[in-house]
A and B are shown apart, each in its own frame.
Chain A
Amino acid sequence: MLTITDLSARVEEKEILKGINLTINPGEVHAIMGPNGSGKSTLASVLAGRSDYEVTGGSVELFEQDLLELEPDERAAEGLFLAFQYPVEIPGVTNTYFLRSAINAIRKYHGQEDMPPKEFMALVKEKAALMELDPAMLSRSVNEGFSGGEKKRNEIFQMAMLDPKFCVLDETDSGLDIDALKIVANGVNALRGGDRGILVITHYQRLLDYIVPDFVHVLMDGRIVKSGGKELALELEEKGYDFIKEEVAARA
């Protein structure tokens, strides 16, 4: 469903992604692991269409469409969802209003009518319960004054509401205590299955105990330097990123 071919990108004249190749088939869960600064969030941002990242080469196809040609909102409407590493606070826009706008915008894109308010409220109730979110948070401004954990749970809540076909989770585990981590993993696992593809980006292996991936890739200095099964994550946890660095050096 997602095919990344030789993708390179830069920010402010700095080359960050240096030729990424990755294919994710329907129903698969992939994890990308890598040290800080290796380009994980850059990859996520390029997929979502952030304009300050300039694609300098390669291509990305989502459902046989040229993803890079689409506006960020069109990508979302086509079924791409990015759970942000740093969710943005939007004072003055309530969570509920925001979600209603998003759902109806996507429906409009597909030529559908607005979701009936009753159906919307029922969906909100169901998904808020799944993410163990306090209903009072729904009438508060988006992410404003939320704790780190609340922001991350809110991301997965939005993901559950929008029911995307392909999800990218950028360090959704960072800043979470173990209880919050379980809630988040639970939410993600509930969305697992069927044709939905999931890309989990993380620095630590911890999250992958709860969201068990089918494939693990290691990103270093803008390139995927190693791929394997879920046991690769464990190996990384045990030996650290240094052993891969050595491997890469030996290969060169």
Chain B
Amino acid sequence: MTATSLSSDPLVAAYDELLPVLTVDGLPGFEELRAAAIRRYRESGIPTTRDEEFKYTPLHALTETKYRFGYGANLTREDVSGLLLGDVDAITVVFVNGQFAPDLSSTDSLPNGAYIGSFSEATEFEDDIKAHLGSIAHFDGRLGSTNDLRFVDLNTAYLGDGTLVFLEKNVAVERTIHIVHVVSASEVAALSFPRILIVLGENAEAKVIESYVTFAGNGVTIPVTEVRLAASARLEHNRLQNESLASTHIANIFVDQATTSVYTSNNINFGASVSRCDINAYVGGEHCETWLNSANVAAGSQIIDNHTRIDHAQPNCQSFEVYKSILKDNGVGVFNGKIFVYEDAQKTDAKQTNQAILLSPTATMNTKPQLEIFADDVKCTHGATIGQLREDALFYLRARGIPLAEAQGLLVYAFAAEVLEKITIDEVRGKLEAALFEKLAS
């Protein structure tokens, strides 16, 4: 590849200058991981809609608009607490434009056997980070076609600081763990590559909320989250993407589950111009539960694209997936749900549901379930409904005196609120319900 074609990809134009900063920022010893990742990324570059996994995700904003690393932004605690979920009572780790903000974080009084904080301060856990980081995302044992990993490679290429949640065996953290990524930019959008590693030891338990919000301007945010659950570990993994409406957000989540572990994802996307979130769960132990819940609202010309992949590699596991989208104006929703049931994974019970409500004739939903089943004694179902509101429910509400517009609003809200109900952190759920209400009213 020539130097000119390299610099024409603005995502990596300044890579070589930035490399020394990355080493100083995070932990040492990731040189090889980064080098391999940038090599892979450069072989393919920014996806186009001709790439199967990005068929409905136009990424021209990445080549047409200006953005840069926005290190050094200065926010106060008040600035952060004014943001959606910014004031939630929690163990809080804050990053601004991809840079760790110790002054805005509060990670004191952790129970024994728990580390929650930045990679850069996790010197004691260097070996643990090395053992897990990258190995969950780049896992070779998956069947069939792998998903498109170039944004994962790109994130790894820029690996600097990040967030580690590390719980030893039997440690349960009751307090909410909140990992906040704030964008604070001026005219030029802020580029960042958030990285999160969550490792729960045997029988450990936690509730995490990952939030992506904007203080000012726009962002190009490309996060990667890796989750490893040891036997019987339980994680409630909430995610809010509420970035400003001209932002680009491309997230990848990888989950690796051992025997009898329970993983619950509540994935809420309201923001960004292009919002993409891939969740890949590899269920590598028996008797696991995997819950993937998601509520999405696209208004204006927002595109909200969700890809999920569940690998049932072992017998006797259950997965339940409910993805919902509300599409207004010219909003576009995309759902691609892959379920792989491996030859050995007998007695798998997998249920996938995708529902969308179109509130305008120009809103669209593209949905594609993709079930690949190699075992014979399994229960796998999928269903997709795309449509308007239920007539019988509308009539019932109106027959009680509620006017049409209000009845419609109530049903639209309820459609998504059903997903928010899965969030067991009352304060978070309450705030998201209010945000949903506002988003629908606007």
Contact = CB atoms under 8 A, between A and B. Distances in A.
A65 interface: no
A73 interface: yes
B417 to A, nearest CB: 5
A104 to B, nearest CB: 9
Interface in A58-113: 71-73, 75-77, 82, 84, 87-93, 98, 101-103, 105-106, 109
B398 A71 contact: yes
Contact of B396 (A51, A87, A91, A141): A87
A49 interface: yes
Given A72-B395, A88-B393, A90-B393, A162 B400 contact: yes
Interface string B407-428: 1001101111110010000000
B79 interface: no
A87 to B, nearest CB: 7
Contact of B410 (A51, A52, A82, A101): A101
A106 B401 contact: yes
A91 B410 CA distance: 11
Given A90-B414, A91-B414, A92-B414, A105 B403 contact: yes
A8 interface: no
Interface string B377-405: 00000000000000111011111111110
Contact of B401 (A50, A51, A73, A88): A73
A158 interface: yes
Contact of A93 (B391, B404, B414): B414
B51 interface: no
Given A88-B393, A88-B396, A90-B396, A162 B414 contact: no
Contact of A82 (B393, B399, B403, B413): B399
A131 interface: no
Contacts of A33: none
A103 B406 CA distance: 13
Contact of A162 (B398, B401, B406, B411): B401
A158 B396 CA distance: 12
B402 to A, nearest CB: 5
B404 A71 contact: yes
A124 interface: no
A173 to B, nearest CB: 20
Interface of A: 48-52, 71-73, 75-77, 82, 84, 87-93, 98, 101-103, 105-106, 109, 141-142, 158, 162
Given A105-B401, A105-B402, A158-B400, 9 more contacts: A48-B399, A76-B398, A88-B393, A98-B400, A101-B410, A102-B397, A102-B401, A105-B403, A142-B396
